Structure 1
Amino acid sequence: MGLSKTERRQRIKRRIRKVSFGTAARPRLSVFRSNKEIYVQVIDDNSGVTLVAASSRDKEIADVKGTKTDIANLVGKTVAEKAIKAGVETVAFDRGGCLYHGRVKSLAEGAREAGLKF
């Protein structure tokens, strides 16, 4: 019998985390996608600190009407603006086991448009 959806996602997540590690100079941009919301954090793994976070549940984003893909793009722009204010310009992208399309791709494109490099 093949892998279930959650087992496949966990396998991909482990494979990504082997090579994606956040440092102070280049922190990790970690994405978590649930059925309704999308959350993103900029993490320094050396010190175990979250530098910046944003989600679709933030007050300024939650009031926006649109598709989940449009909201993910807005979350990407928001986290990029916060990260640049905090002095972070380049990050390592961690898609968290999700495939790179749909909301995850939209979030990454929004972050790139706002000036974040990865």
Structure 2
Amino acid sequence: MEAAARSTTIPWFQAEMKKLQDLSGPAFNWLSRLDPMQWCRSHFRIHSKCDILLNNICEAFNKSIIDARDKPIITLLERIRYYIMLLMATRREAMEKWAHDVGPRVFAALEKLKKQSA
């Protein structure tokens, strides 16, 4: 299934689906019922969906190291290491407050799905 999902052309996708059919008929049947536009690269739309060229993670990271970018490489790397360690520590502290093994939003979504299926 992973090979079919990663395929970037329709012929490649069809070849991988044929391999899956030979390997597991039930898996092939289940996957065939799903819309490949939702899970396979070869069927994704190619037009741009957003005019923003960079994502927010990149922007946030660049902002966090802006004062260290003009420093020597060792100093820059040390400040990045310190920033990431601090980020991980603050997130760990926040996670310790969680009531469940997963985050509150994920838990709420799982509970909603559980209620729908009951």
From the CA coordinates, give the structure whose radius of gyration is larger: 2
Question: Is the pair's TM-score, using the shorter chain for normalization, greater than 0.5?
Answer: no
TM-score, structure 2 length as denominator? 0.24
Identify, as 1 or 2, the structure richer in strand: 1
Identify, as 1 or 2, the structure richer in helix: 2
TM-score, structure 1 length as denominator? 0.24
Q: Which has the higher contact order (CA 8 A, sep 6+)?
A: 1
